[in-house]
Amino acid sequence: MHFPAIFFNKMRRLWLHHNPKDIIIFFITMIALIYISGIIFLRVSEDDYHGTTGLFKRPRLTVKYGISCSAIYNLEPFELGKSLIVRKNKSYVGTSDMNIVNGTTDCKRFVVSESFDAIRGSEFEHEFPLAYSLVVHKNADLVERLLRAIYMPHNVYCIHYDMKSSDDFKSAMQGLARCLPNVFIASRLEWVQYAGISRLKADLNCLYDLLESEVKWKYVINLCGQDFPLRTNAELVSELKMLKGRNMLETRQPGMKIRRWSFHYVLKKNKSEYFKSPHRTFKKKPPPPHNIEMFVGSAYFTLSREFALFVQWSPLARDFLVWCEDTYSPDEHFWATLVRVPGAPGEVMRSDPDITEQTSKTRLVKWLALEDILYPPCTGKHIRAVCVYGAAELRWLLNYGHWFANKVDSNTDPILIECLEERLLGKWGSSK
In this prediction, residue 51 carries a pLDDT of 58
Say if 56 falls within a structural domain.
yes
Q: In 54-166, where do the E strands start and end? A: 58-59, 130-136, 156-161
In this prediction, residue 215 carries a pLDDT of 98
Say if 182 falls within a structural domain.
no
Q: Do 183 and 146 meet the contact criterion of CB atoms below 8 Å apart? A: no
In this prediction, residue 276 carries a pLDDT of 86
Say if 68 falls within a structural domain.
yes
Say if 262 falls within a structural domain.
no
In this prediction, residue 29 carries a pLDDT of 46
Say if 16 falls within a structural domain.
yes
Q: Which residues are catalytic?
A: 332
Say if 53 falls within a structural domain.
yes
Domain count, the chain: 1
Side chain identity, residue 353? P
Say if 20 falls within a structural domain.
yes
CB atoms within 10 A of CB 5: 9
CA–CA separation, 197 and 202 (whole Å) = 9
CB atoms within 10 A of CB 121: 18
In this prediction, residue 6 carries a pLDDT of 40
H/E segment holding residue 197: helix 197-211
| Parent domain of 61 | 3-88
pTM: 0.87
- List the chain pLDDT tens, one digit each, 432 residues: 443 444 334 444 444 444 444 544 444 444 444 444 444 443 433 333 345 678 887 878 999 999 999 999 999 999 999 999 999 888 788 899 999 999 999 999 999 999 999 999 999 999 999 999 999 999 999 999 999 999 999 999 999 999 999 999 999 999 999 999 999 999 999 999 999 999 999 999 999 999 999 999 999 999 999 999 999 999 999 999 999 999 999 999 999 999 999 999 999 877 777 888 999 999 999 999 999 999 999 999 999 999 999 999 999 999 999 999 999 999 999 999 999 999 999 999 999 999 999 999 999 999 999 999 999 999 999 999 999 999 999 999 999 999 999 999 999 999 999 999 999 999 874 443
Please tell me whether residue 227 adopts helix, strand or coil conformation. Answer: strand
Say if 349 falls within a structural domain.
no
